[in-house]
Amino acid sequence: MKVLSGQAVARLTALLPGRLDLAEMRRDPRRDLLAGLTVAIVALPLALGFGVSSGLGAEAGLATAVVAGALAAVFGGSNLQVSGPTGAMTVVLVPIVAEHGPSGVLTVGLVAGVMLVALALLRAGKYMQYVPAPVVEGFTLGIACVIGLQQIPNALGVPKPEGDRVLVVTWRALAEFAKNPNWTAVALALAVAAVMLIGARRRPAIPFSILAVIVATVVAQMAGLDAAKPIGDLPSGLPAPSLAFLDPGALGSLLAPAVAVAALAALESLLSASVADGMTVGQQHDPDRELFGQGLANIAAPLFGGVPATGAIARTAVNVRTGAGSRLAALVHAAILAAIVFAAAPLVSRIPLAALAGVLLATAIRMVEVGSLRAMARATRSDALILVLTAVATLALDLVYAVIIGLVVAGALALRTVAKQARLDQVPLDRGDHSAEEHALLAEHIVAYRVDGPLFFAAAHRFLLELAEVADVRVVILRMSRVTTIDATGALVLKDAVEKLNRRGIVVMTSGIRSGQRQVLDSLGALELLRVEGREYATTPEAIQGARTHLECVGVIPLLPAQESRPVGVETEETVG
């Protein structure tokens, strides 16, 4: 017990911030301060927009950006990661809000945070690298579509219709707009989106999102555009931390959504951290520390009324491009947003919802990298299929099902590809030191097969069918030296094939079985059939010599002149049945 507790303490200590983190923050604070200010300007409209889209309000998005952003910056595993509310998480939260209400979302965030901490302690971060690229690309494309569709009601200036399916809600919003058009809201949303998209292409260093929102707000106020509905009153500060939302009786029904939120937070955060590493030289995130930091962030955010958070790819990219070198930049970003919450809440409350919808529409469009999608679709048919299925499932179902479907399909296609690598090829007998006459006589009664590749469940039954077609021979030699792996199914199929051939009077001998594969074969009784009769050999020449001895003993061929030395393991008359 003491050893286990010591290991647990050591593992937890490894996840906590160290002196190196502090040293890096002191290296170039001026550059980090500037990067943090820039990120905060970009993050403000996104935090407000995603808070509104989630259903908990703009104040929830701000609380998440401040609390989760600060904690993830301190305890996370990346020096450059910026965390907060994201579009992908919003997509998951909308149906939870519809079914369980705001308190359900806060509970889900808390439970998901605990799960993320547990994953970090279990060192599960490294397994996220096994998610295939087509799944990630399809996932991102689907999320972009969902985020864009979620903004339709606010962009059209109509009340959000009932429903938790984005396609249904969008259709109802369009029907409502057809009855009572609100062209003012449409103009504001399109203008903000256009400014962001055009401005980012021409002057990417300028934060056009906040500039467009400010201009839209000033125009709406000065022109008295009543049709441009504002965010509404915001609290001038963060609420006191509270667990009043927690209902222990509802935990059972919220467990599945919490798993979905935790999985998404882990996937998106580690993906964002990897993107940040790729944009720099010398930076390398710690996946387990990142999960730990995101877990603490998601435990704390609900206490202040915030929605679940993840690492934000767009904000992280801005952080890197503006020269951030340490986690101080992300901390500054959270501090500036906190100052805005306390000092400028009345001004922020006047921002039109249509303007925020325009920000998120532009964000959704910029998430879609056409070149990357085109390259992925052209790579292989399998990659294209996985990408499309994941994107469609994200749009039609939900993100968790989409990832599961993408992983299952990717796994099935990968297994099919690997299974095709397993081959059973007939090969000529090695001549050895036999004369031409001896070799021709042996080849008449002995056939050799070389097994290449993995002998596992996806390919084993095809192997059995091919081997069962062997006829008109007395001995089959299986050359196993090129078998890369054997699972339980492969071992059982091999055993079944040997038994069937033996019942037909065909003796099976093997050569070159590796030590690691021997254990699998032995545990399932496949080697027993060979070992009892002395039909397992280390090399193919020894197996051929054993086959020759067997044929001599049963009288199939005349006794040939003995070799100068008989290899070890060759059958004697006493061992022949």
pLDDT of the residue at 108: 93
3-state secondary structure of 486: strand
Mean pLDDT is lowest, of 173-187, 188-202, 341-355, 520-534, for 520-534
CA–CA distances in Å: residue 61 to residues 85, 93, 245: 6, 12, 17
- Segments in 15-86 forming alpha helices (H): 19-27, 29-54, 58-75
Query: Predicted confidence band at 533 (pLDDT cuts at 50, 70, 90)?
Result: low
Q: How far is CA 226 from the centre of its chain?
A: 45
Question: How much is the average pLDDT of 75-86?
Answer: 90
Question: How much is the average pLDDT of 498-523?
Answer: 80
On the question of pLDDT at 136 being above 60, the answer is: yes
3-state secondary structure of 559: coil
Radius of gyration over every alpha carbon of the chain, rounded to an integer in angstroms:
33
**Cα separation, 199 vs 208, whole angstroms:** 6
pLDDT tens column, 147-174: 788 888 888 888 878 766 778 888 888 8
pLDDT tens column, 401-460: 777 888 888 888 877 777 777 777 777 776 665 566 666 767 778 888 888 878 777 666
CA–CA distances in Å: residue 248 to residues 243, 253, 261: 11, 10, 19
3-state secondary structure of 312: coil
Question: How much is the average pLDDT of 254-276?
Answer: 86
Contact by Cβ (8 Å): 480, 510: yes
| CB crowding 51-70: b at 16 or more within 10 Å, else e | bbbbbbbbbbbbbbbbbbbb
Whole-number mean pLDDT of the chain? 80
- Helix H or strand E encompassing 509: strand 507-511
3-state secondary structure of 484: strand
Name which residue leads in pLDDT, 328 or 44.
328
pLDDT of the residue at 69: 93
pLDDT of the residue at 573: 32
**The pair of three-digit structure tokens given for residue 361, joined into one six-digit string:** 């529409």
Residue with tokens 């500060």: 237
Q: How far is CA 80 from the centre of its chain?
A: 21
**The pair of three-digit structure tokens given for residue 74, joined into one six-digit string:** 């301190």
pLDDT tens column, 336-387: 989 887 887 787 778 888 888 888 788 788 777 788 788 877 878 888 888 8
> Cβ contacts of residue 298 below 8 Å, gap of 6+?
68, 109, 110, 112, 113, 116, 261, 265, 308, 309
Burial class of residue 114, CB neighbours in 10 A (0-12, 13-18, 19+): middle
pTM: 0.68
**The pair of three-digit structure tokens given for residue 576, joined into one six-digit string:** 């022949």
Q: Report phi then psi at 484, rounded to 5.
A: -85, -35
**Residues linked to residue 509 through DSSP beta bridges, in sequence order:** 477
**Cα separation, 481 vs 451, whole angstroms:** 8
Nearest to 145 by CA among 380, 391, 310: 391
Nearest to 532 by CA among 478, 563, 504, 495: 495
pLDDT of the residue at 114: 95
Residue 332 CB coordination number (10 Å): 23
Contact by Cβ (8 Å): 571, 534: yes
Q: Report phi then psi at 462, rounded to 5.
A: -65, -35
Burial class of residue 566, CB neighbours in 10 A (0-12, 13-18, 19+): middle
CA dihedral for 100, 102, 105, 111, sign (positive or negative): negative
